[in-house]
Structure 1
Amino acid sequence: MANRQKNATPDSQLPNLPKIAQLLANTVKEAHSLGDRRAEANALLSLGNLYEQTKQWSEATNLTQQGLILAQATITPDIAYRLQWQLGRLLWQQKEFPGAIAAYDAAVDTIKSLRSDLATINQDIQFNFRDSVEPLYRQSVELLLQSQAGQPNAKILDQARKRIEALQLAEIDNFFQEACLEGKNVILDQVADQENPNTAIFSTAAIFYPIILPKQLQVIVKLPNQPLQLYSTNITQEEVEKAVSKLRKVLVNPTATNAVKMQSQTVYNWLLKPIESKLSAKKVDTLVFVLDGVLRNIPMASLYDGQKFLIEKYAIALSVSLQLQNPHPLVKQPLKALIAGLSQPPADFPNFAPLPAIKSEVKSISNAGVATTNLLDQQFTSKALEKEVNSFPFNVVHLATHGQFSSRAEETFILAADGPINVKQFDSLLRSRDETQAQAVELLVLSACQTAAGDKRAALGLAGTAIRAGARSTLASLWQIDDESTALFVGDFYQQLKKGNISKAQALRHAQLKILQHPNYRAPSFWSAYVLIGNWL
């Protein structure tokens, strides 16, 4: 009893809700009399939130609507989106689904209008993304899916995945503190529904959109020429994150193949098991994932169905959004690669080990019949790379050097002989090329990079790098691999591409299988780290 009293909050320290309500009501009046509409809208937001906490839905709704009228009249979007969000929650509680969905939609639209201001918005207004924005999107998706009342609706499913896409684009913008990706591309569904016009490459793709909600993992799937489908697993976000974190830990351990199989089968059962028979019936050979949250930290190639790894059955690619830039295969174009490699990291980066096999990696690309221009070791500086990229018509840029992906843009970089090239500098390196020219950068390869240790959202840096580079496809590693197996992998990947009758995703699969079948490199830690982002054709 004494213990309980010791740890309990004294009554004197408990919030006095009526007193707080009175203070807020007075603040509303004062702000109104002073003509400070921003302060008045803010106080109405807080007062409405207080009534929301005490489940006085009608009063809370009324106050929130008053605040919203003020915020919209005074053009204060940073307050307006919070009021719209609050209104959505209140109407949801009252089972008014159409009104709640409209309020959430309005909040998301307001956030979109703020996207271009992320870099310049006042520091006192700037919001913490994870706390202030991400829950809005996730709740919105949860509301949309709940509103179906057990009857899947293709329109609502489409809206739900677009909402998750909007979240991912907002995450990227927040990563760079500026708006980065504007839609002017082809919708993934159109690529999945059409047979590849180039008969030399036939690819049948299914597209997966896993969505992590607080108490469920929902998966929306697009099969060729089929309406969107939905299935779900009742599992909390915390459990998903724990399982994925466990899998990631064993994946990088070359002696833990059995543990990988056990852990990855759990994730396979969530994402693919409910639809595996339909994939087979539709003769799907390529899986494209638009991954959510922590799922980006693990390679889908490593998922295990109880008998085979996913890569043994399908070619696999990732997409950052629901759109694809210039969805054409890399066919009958002579491959011209600019290769920059650094076998010895700069002295002030002692945490990065030498990469002695880089010379064999470069040689393996040349041996595959690719025309190469090389910047090796001391020749590989940021200025030399920029000069070469913009002087010659390369369609492949291959960077064989250490790099790190982080959830912070300033900690996402690749190493050159003169130091790190930050992700924000990729603009000047690659984006200055005209993407419409015949020799646009079709493929960026980052062969010795890794995600930052202990950073749950580090794969955000990989997505950011892929976008910032402006290449139509990016091939990168989620963790650093033995560099001798990397040289074998890279050689086979380019040999396949050079044939000209295979998609990039299929070339990646072939190279991964070659490593998987090698007696020294069968463990998933060697072959599964590579991921292809963007155009998989």
Structure 2
Amino acid sequence: QAAIAFLTESLKISQNNPSAELRSLLSLASIHHRRKETAMMLPYLKKAIPLLDQVNSNRVRAYAAIDIAKLLNSDDPKQTEALLMQAIRSAQAIKDLRAESFAVGELGRLYKQRNSDAAISWIKRAIATADQDLEAKDSLYLWEWELGRLLEAQGQTRSAIAAYERSIRVLESIRSDILEANRELQFNFRDEIEPIYRDLIELRVGLENVNKNAVSDARLKQAQPTVSADPNNIEIVLRAMDSLRLAELQNYFGNDCILAAARPTGNLSTDATARAVQAALSTATQDGQTAVINYIVLKDELVLILNVKGKPPRTETMKVSAQELERLITQFRGQLQTNTLEDFDPKTSNAQVLYQYLIERIRPTLDAEGIKTLVFAQDGLLRNIPMAALHDGKQFLIQNYAIATVPSLSLVNLSPPKNEPKTALALRLGEAVTVNGRNYSALVYTERETQSILQKLPGSLVLPDSEFTKQNMNAKLKQRNYSILHLATHGQFGADPKDTFLITGGREELTLIELEKMLRGLPSEDQIELLALTACQTAVGDNRSTLGLAGAAVQAGAKSALASLWFIEDRGTADLVQSFYQGLSGRSSQRLSKAEALRKAQMDLIDAGKHPRLWSAFVLVGNWF
């Protein structure tokens, strides 16, 4: 409402300035369009159209006509077409190929509703126009995507795939630039960028299913398959999915800098991502006891891709809609967070239903291969699932496997841990505080939690309560090398990095952006191996907030992060932390991997009869060695 009031006032002031008046009218119309308030939008557009002829600048006229046409679209096809033809004339008058491409492409979209062949002709013309101007790549990727959708609708699968892949290559060459230049696009990510990757992935997965069926039929008939299987198809799907995860993180952070710093080469190109994904899969599975499982959530299907040592990737497709999956996940979180053990029955909760979708089909392979560690590359709201609490009808998943997740295969640092005793800088907030008007309860067991770190990891340092300030923390990190940074304090993973913060004993909000600056300022040999955040929480059902959790280790420059999906009683945290660090203590020949140490800690609580709420919330993100 504040924006509408401001723009309404601007409109009054700009009555004698056609360009300014046009801008205000279009801004008001856009707000109502986003709110799906068509009846309130149309009057602003009707006032804007006559102003086009009063504007002196052909460039302003061209882009304004395009904006009006996009907002009108199917509400008035004839007027929309006239506006786009006017935009083309204005763009051609000043040889603005970018504006011309946008106008021509929008004509293609308009024709899509009545004549697909004509639409394809216009879209191809838009592509040819954009291809002549390096400044028009933000137009080029859109029209390659649109061409792919049109070709897909006509059943031209191979040609559609080629168009989607061209679109992604163009997009990835300019994504950082357009995100920084157009902040609006950051918030339209799910409409303007994410669907391109998912359209490609869905077609590639469909092609894989056709190939698998053809191979199966050919074996039955003892003949050659009618459709040749593409050995690179799944590699391309994995690359595209990882590129989407990078795009999500980049969109979350608002730039490429953090991701480029996380990848050793600093190269985020499509080809570099493909190489990094394959290298990560090879390193991850080289012990023969680790499986990497990628999930892809499509509109009506869930796709699973399993990688184990020495075997080609295996795909499984389950018929379950994204909407149904979201319902199951949200219910599962609610079931896990019930108050008493008697209220939670893994056999009747969604723990077993989700196990059937996510694990059951590959369980025989995992057992046959002797797999001990599962590494999950999740998609969407699946990041909200504590995989440890899935149940096969007899046992929880964690009772059979150590578990870790990765925000992106191509970003995870899989270098082995140093062969030296681990030490931690632990900071705790035990007392109740009020920060920026919010009350945070006392965490009475954080003292016990951090004392156990001193016992299990000799040489560690604890900064309690008032000593836990940003300044002290920064100073201690610079004084000596710690392999672990442990923060026992309230925290929140929000939908925006600025809303993701930790509370210090100095009654301050420490954002992950500030934490990143501290940790990335350390020498590379002093890189934190593990960032532990033990009293944080993510919002249920909030996909963007889980990106904050997934990206915490990436952003902070740590190899791994240990964090909780929801806030749990700090007594339960203290028990788990003590057991976890016991597993990490000693030299490499004695200590467990981080994933195994977390499994041991969770198993100890299971054996003690503790509610899954207390142990399943903890997830290990990143390097699991």
Q: Same fold (TM over 0.5)?
A: yes
> Structure 1 CA distance, aligned partners of 2:411 and 2:367?
25
> Structure 2 CA distance, aligned partners of 1:484 and 1:48?
61
In the TM superposition, 1:134-533 aligns within 5 A as 134-148=194-208, 150-152=210-212, 153-179=230-256, 180-182=258-260, 183-184=263-264, 187-195=279-287, 204-255=289-340, 256-258=343-345, 262-323=349-410, 325-330=412-417, 332-348=419-435, 350-418=438-506, 419-435=508-524, 437=525, 439-452=526-539, 455-499=542-586, 500=588, 501-519=591-609, 521=610, 523-533=611-621
Deviation string for 1:111-156 (max 9, x for gaps)? Answer: 2122332563145666611211111111110011122352244411
- Secondary structure of 1:403's partner? strand
Corresponding residue for residue 131 of structure 2: 72
1:142 to 1:17, Cα distance in 2 relative to 1, 3 A: same
Asked whether the 8 Å contact 2:202–2:298 carries over to 1, the reply is yes
1:372 to 1:475, Cα distance in 2 relative to 1, 3 A: same
The alpha carbon displacement at 1:476 in A equals 0.7
Matched residue pairs, number?
Answer: 514
Structure number with higher relative contact order (C-alpha < 8 Å, ≥ 6 residues apart) = 1
The alpha carbon displacement at 1:518 in A equals 1.5
The alpha carbon displacement at 1:380 in A equals 0.4
> Structure 2 CA distance, aligned partners of 1:22 and 1:192?
57
1:502 to 1:265, Cα distance in 2 relative to 1, 3 A: same
Asked whether the 8 Å contact 2:577–2:601 carries over to 1, the reply is yes
Asked whether the 8 Å contact 1:466–1:533 carries over to 2, the reply is yes
The alpha carbon displacement at 1:286 in A equals 0.3
The alpha carbon displacement at 1:409 in A equals 1.0
1:455 to 1:326, Cα distance in 2 relative to 1, 3 A: closer
1:89 to 1:68, Cα distance in 2 relative to 1, 3 A: same
Corresponding residue for residue 105 of structure 1: 165
> Structure 1 CA distance, aligned partners of 2:324 and 2:373?
28
- Secondary structure of 2:75's partner? coil
Corresponding residue for residue 57 of structure 2: none
> Structure 1 CA distance, aligned partners of 2:248 and 2:185?
17
Asked whether the 8 Å contact 1:192–1:204 carries over to 2, the reply is no
Structure 1 unaligned runs (5+)?
Answer: 1-8, 196-202
The alpha carbon displacement at 1:224 in A equals 1.8
When you count helix as a share of all residues, which structure comes out higher?
Answer: 2
The alpha carbon displacement at 1:206 in A equals 0.6
Of 98-107 and 378-387, deviating more is 98-107
| Counterpart AA for 1:181 | L
Asked whether the 8 Å contact 2:335–2:349 carries over to 1, the reply is no
Deviation string for 1:430-474 (max 9, x for gaps)? Answer: 111223x1x431111111111135634311111222111111111
| Counterpart AA for 2:401 | Y
| Counterpart AA for 2:142 | R
The alpha carbon displacement at 1:303 in A equals 0.8
Asked whether the 8 Å contact 1:317–1:536 carries over to 2, the reply is yes
> Structure 1 CA distance, aligned partners of 2:465 and 2:347?
36
1:401 to 1:118, Cα distance in 2 relative to 1, 3 A: farther
Of 258-267 and 288-297, deviating more is 258-267
> Structure 2 CA distance, aligned partners of 1:102 and 1:52?
20
- Secondary structure of 1:289's partner? strand
- Secondary structure of 2:177's partner? coil
Corresponding residue for residue 4 of structure 1: none
- Secondary structure of 1:332's partner? coil
Of 103-112 and 447-456, deviating more is 447-456
Alignment RMSD (CA, Å): 2.2
The alpha carbon displacement at 1:361 in A equals 0.4
Answering whether residue 156 of structure 2 is matched by residue 96 of structure 1, we say yes
1:530 to 1:114, Cα distance in 2 relative to 1, 3 A: same
Asked whether the 8 Å contact 1:254–1:526 carries over to 2, the reply is no
Structure 2 unaligned runs (5+)?
Answer: 1-38, 40-71, 213-229, 265-275
1:441 to 1:149, Cα distance in 2 relative to 1, 3 A: closer
Corresponding residue for residue 5 of structure 1: none
1:89 to 1:487, Cα distance in 2 relative to 1, 3 A: same
> Structure 2 CA distance, aligned partners of 1:317 and 1:241?
21
Deviation string for 1:378-430 (max 9, x for gaps)? Answer: 00011111111122111111111111111211110111123111111122221
> Structure 1 CA distance, aligned partners of 2:178 and 2:621?
25
Deviation string for 1:194-234 (max 9, x for gaps)? Answer: 22xxxxxxx71111111001111111111221111111111
> Structure 2 CA distance, aligned partners of 1:123 and 1:322?
27
Asked whether the 8 Å contact 1:478–1:529 carries over to 2, the reply is yes
Asked whether the 8 Å contact 1:345–1:352 carries over to 2, the reply is yes
> Structure 1 CA distance, aligned partners of 2:118 and 2:187?
27
| Counterpart AA for 2:458 | V
| Counterpart AA for 2:309 | P
The alpha carbon displacement at 1:477 in A equals 0.7
Asked whether the 8 Å contact 2:285–2:307 carries over to 1, the reply is no
> Structure 2 CA distance, aligned partners of 1:193 and 1:154?
19
- Secondary structure of 2:259's partner? coil
The alpha carbon displacement at 1:252 in A equals 1.8
Asked whether the 8 Å contact 2:346–2:393 carries over to 1, the reply is no
| Counterpart AA for 1:430 | L
